[in-house]
């Protein structure tokens, strides 16, 4: 089930809200959320919900043992090893066997496995480092991991961020209203912008043979918009849904396409993932307070793992290595490349990220610079541009904090949000094209 679907919008969410707010007990409300979250995940993959629950209860049990043990590090290693093994089997077994020369092993990938596995690992780490007390109630631990707003595509919610809210949160009308507002913004990003850009990007990347230079750039820019509005839109909806039930999730995006350096970009893009690797990998390895050679090893490890986390393909590894090189260059030179060069690098890196193979990605980049003997301009580009420029313009405005202007005029924002909700609902009813990029991760 996805947020931007008729089933969720008109059936699942309204019924859940009615049932949830009909209960007066905090414990009952938590169990309602847990049952609803498991139903949400099992909607399309009923078998994989047992794998997620097994992961939750294994990590919960090992964390309790770790908390009582005089040698907690052994329990930490065991828990992390099991989590990595789970990811390895379901996400990377085919990639590993194929690259070792064996017949590829094809195993169905549970949706959101990278997100819920990283959340279980963060729970274990928080208990190990003393940032949180272990949760005594296994069902509350399951609620933390499986809570449907952030279950399948983030943001990655750390246990110490919402530990107190599991039992002590306070719902209010103001919080609920802010949640609805945030959800509608995210819905509009996803349905009205990301889905449109996805069709343009899919056509250019997948169906147009030897596109012109300008057509190649159009496809790359469309994908750059698509992945931002797709993922940030989902994060907005997740944050909004959390607020409706009294939970506060931290921001996951902060207008990353306004960045003037790669370092700044990664402080603004997928903030929860960057913070996870910083706190649980980079800093424990020594961070930047080590020799230059050791620092290079640390940052290389983080970006290798970041690439691998996104998928079992050499394109993701190369994408991670591109950012490793760019970040090292920024650190070594002490200079910011500026907004233009930063976005140029980001767009080219997204091309590699989007491509099926490294060869395909490099070939597409070559066509963007006319290195494949392709024309600079053609009629196909004008056809696509005439049909896409209004949405492109809206997408361009959307990468800046323009909504802050609307917040100054509450009546204008209310009218705008009503319009976005109505148009989005109409689009959901009339269109079956509704992909989510990060469900693959």
DSSP H helical ranges for 245-338: 262-268, 271-277, 292-310, 314-333
CA–CA gap between residue 187 and residue 195 (Å, rounded): 11
310 is catalytic: yes
Closest Cα partner for 361 from 313, 310, 324? 313
Residue 101 CA from chain centroid, whole number: 32
Mean pLDDT, the chain, whole residue set: 91
Closest Cα partner for 437 from 344, 317, 354, 332? 354
Q: What per-residue confidence (pLDDT) applies to 427?
A: 87
- pLDDT of residue 308 exceeding 60, the answer is yes
CA contacts within 13 A on the Cβ side of 142: 21
Q: Could you tell me if residue 71 is left (phi over 0), alpha (psi between -120 and 50 degrees) or otherwise beta? A: beta
| pLDDT tens per residue, range 323-377 | 999 999 999 998 899 999 999 999 999 999 999 999 999 999 999 999 988 889 8
| Omega before 172 within 30 of 0, i.e. cis | no
Q: Which is the catalytic residue, given 67, 270, 310, 339?
A: 310
Closest Cα partner for 3 from 144, 147, 179, 191? 191
Exposed/middle/buried for residue 81 (C-beta within 10 Å: 0-12, 13-18, 19+): exposed
Q: What per-residue confidence (pLDDT) applies to 271?
A: 95
Task: For residue 160, name the pLDDT band (cuts at 50, 70, 90).
Answer: confident
Q: What per-residue confidence (pLDDT) applies to 440?
A: 55
Closest Cα partner for 365 from 312, 440, 315? 315
CB atoms within 10 A of CB 93: 16
- pTM of the complete model beyond 0.85: yes
| pLDDT tens per residue, range 381-416 | 888 888 899 999 999 999 999 888 888 888 888 999
Q: For 327-360, b where at least 16 C-beta lie within 10 A, e where not — what string?
A: bbebbeeeeebeeeebbebbbbbbbbbbbeeeee
Residue 262: CB partners within 8 Å, gap ≥ 6?
A: 323, 326, 327, 330, 337, 342, 345, 346
CA–CA gap between residue 23 and residue 179 (Å, rounded): 20
| pLDDT tens per residue, range 252-297 | 999 999 999 999 999 999 999 999 999 999 999 998 899 999 999 9
Q: What per-residue confidence (pLDDT) applies to 267?
A: 96
Closest Cα partner for 322 from 351, 284, 290, 287? 351
CA–CA gap between residue 392 and residue 430 (Å, rounded): 21
Closest Cα partner for 315 from 360, 276, 280? 360
| pLDDT tens per residue, range 174-229 | 999 999 999 999 999 999 999 999 999 999 998 778 899 999 999 999 999 999 99
């Amino acid at each position: 089930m996805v947020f931007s679907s008729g089933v969720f919008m008109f059936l699942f969410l309204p019924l859940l809200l009615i049932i949830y707010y009909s209960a007066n007990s905090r414990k009952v409300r938590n169990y309602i959320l847990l049952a609803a979250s498991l139903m949400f995940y099992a909607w399309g993959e009923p078998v994989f919900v047992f794998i997620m629950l097994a992961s939750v209860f294994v990590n919960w049990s090992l964390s309790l043992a770790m908390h009582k043990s005089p040698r907690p590090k052994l329990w930490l290693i065991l828990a992390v090893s099991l989590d990595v093994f789970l990811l390895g089997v379901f996400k990377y077994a085919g990639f590993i066997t194929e690259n070792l020369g064996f017949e590829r092993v094809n195993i169905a990938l549970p949706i959101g496995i990278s997100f819920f596995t990283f959340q279980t690992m963060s729970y274990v780490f928080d208990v190990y480092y003393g940032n949180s007390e272990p949760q005594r109630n296994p069902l509350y631990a399951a609620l933390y991991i499986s809570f449907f707003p952030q279950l399948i595509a983030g943001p990655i919610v750390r246990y110490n961020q919402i530990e107190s809210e599991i039992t002590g949160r306070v719902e209010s009308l103001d919080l609920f209203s802010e949640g609805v507002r945030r959800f509608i913004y995210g819905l509009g990003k996803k349905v009205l912008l990301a889905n449109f850009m996805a069709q343009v990007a899919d056509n250019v990347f997948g169906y147009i043979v030897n596109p012109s230079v300008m057509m190649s750039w159009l496809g790359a820019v469309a994908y750059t918009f698509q992945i931002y509005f797709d993922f940030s839109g989902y994060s907005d909806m997740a944050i909004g849904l959390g607020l409706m039930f009294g939970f506060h999730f931290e921001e996951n995006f902060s207008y990353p396409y306004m960045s003037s350096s790669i370092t700044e970009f990664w402080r603004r893009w997928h903030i929860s993932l960057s913070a996870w690797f910083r706190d649980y990998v980079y800093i424990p390895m020594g961070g930047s307070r080590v020799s230059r050679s050791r620092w290079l090893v640390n940052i290389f490890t983080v970006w290798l793992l970041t690439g691998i986390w996104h998928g079992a393909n050499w394109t993701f590894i190369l994408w991670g290595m591109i950012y490793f090189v760019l970040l090292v260059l920024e650190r070594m030179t002490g200079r910011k490349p500026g907004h233009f060069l930063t976005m140029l690098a980001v767009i080219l890196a997204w091309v590699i990220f989007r491509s099926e193979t490294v060869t395909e990605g490099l070939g597409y980049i070559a066509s963007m610079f006319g290195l494949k003997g392709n024309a600079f301009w053609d009629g196909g580009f004008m056809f696509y541009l005439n049909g896409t420029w209004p949405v492109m313009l809206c997408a361009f405005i959307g990468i800046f904090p323009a909504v802050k202007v609307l917040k100054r005029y509450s009546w204008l924002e209310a009218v705008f949000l009503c319009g976005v909700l109505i148009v989005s609902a109409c689009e959901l009813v009339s269109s079956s094209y509704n992909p989510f990029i990060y469900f693959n991760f």
